[in-house]
Amino acid sequence: MSALFSLAGKRALVTGANTGIGQAIACSLAEAGADVVCAGRSAVTETIDLITSAGGRAEGLALDLSDPIAAATAVETLAAPVDILVNNAGIIRRADAVDFTEADWDEVMDVNLKAVFFLSQAFARSVLSRGATGRIINIASMLSFQGGIRVASYTASKSGVAGLTKLLANEWAAKGINVNAIAPGYIATNNTEALRADPDRSKAILDRIPAGRWGDPEDIGGAAVFLASPAAKYIHGAILNVDGGWLAR
């Protein structure tokens, strides 16, 4: 049974691997046996140290997704091809819809959606040219299903990620590339620190989560290992909610 979840001999690229969910995914993939390319706009030294100190293999890649085409080109020039792509990196901007700026719209859409497509395209071209198989795991959101408030471009981008995941699965499933997504719930990361520090807001969130707790980044890491593994070979176009039951409430 363990072979079903083994990533031994595989090479993975994880964007936004410097902290939080991206770091946990990178560490989890490495623990399952994959060599991991940890990509980030800022230093990924901590993630690499965590992986190598546990006996895994990792390297860093400077990748600025605010220029999606340049980022995709960088992926195409990797010294060795990758078998697994995790499109994790993302940003968020908050403002009332009537005040939302074009700059905040464009910045979020470039990183959260445009880069996801063009990195996936570069990855698929590499896989198909080698006659290989591959896995793409996109990081969606609860806002791929819900509207949210004051995050217009984030909601639009994550709704787009959900749709793009299904479209790419339709095109590439028969060609040996599995495309799926994970929709994290409220996870204890730097991005949710302010929410967790606000007693009223934190209570309101926890009251809605059937599991009764904030998620850990490792909860997302385990889901990523599953979707990247042979155990998920017949899963295409799925969006796996890892939210403690939030969307079921």
| Residue 1 pLDDT greater than 80, yes or no | no
Catalytic choice (117, 154, 172, 226): 154
Closest-CA residue to 172 (of 128, 115, 138): 128
Indicate the SS3 state at residue 177.
strand
Task: Report pLDDT digits (tens) over 111-146.
Answer: 999 999 999 999 999 999 999 999 999 999 999 999
Domain ranges of the chain: 2-248
Q: How far is the C-alpha of 33 from the C-alpha of 5, rounded, in Å?
A: 9
Q: What is the pTM of this model?
A: 0.97
Predicted local confidence at residue 195, as pLDDT? 83
Give the pair of three-digit tokens for residue 160.
């787009």
Architecture of domain 2-248: 3-Layer(aba) Sandwich (3.40)
Q: How far is the C-alpha of 141 from the C-alpha of 157, rounded, in Å?
A: 10
Task: Report pLDDT digits (tens) over 8-65.
Answer: 999 999 999 999 999 999 999 999 999 999 999 999 999 999 999 999 999 999 999 9
- Residue 234 among the catalytic residues: no
Residue with tokens 């403690």: 244
Q: How far is the C-alpha of 249 from the C-alpha of 245, rounded, in Å?
A: 7
Outline where the chain has alpha helix (H): 20-31, 45-53, 68-76, 102-109, 115-130, 152-172, 193-197, 199-208, 217-228
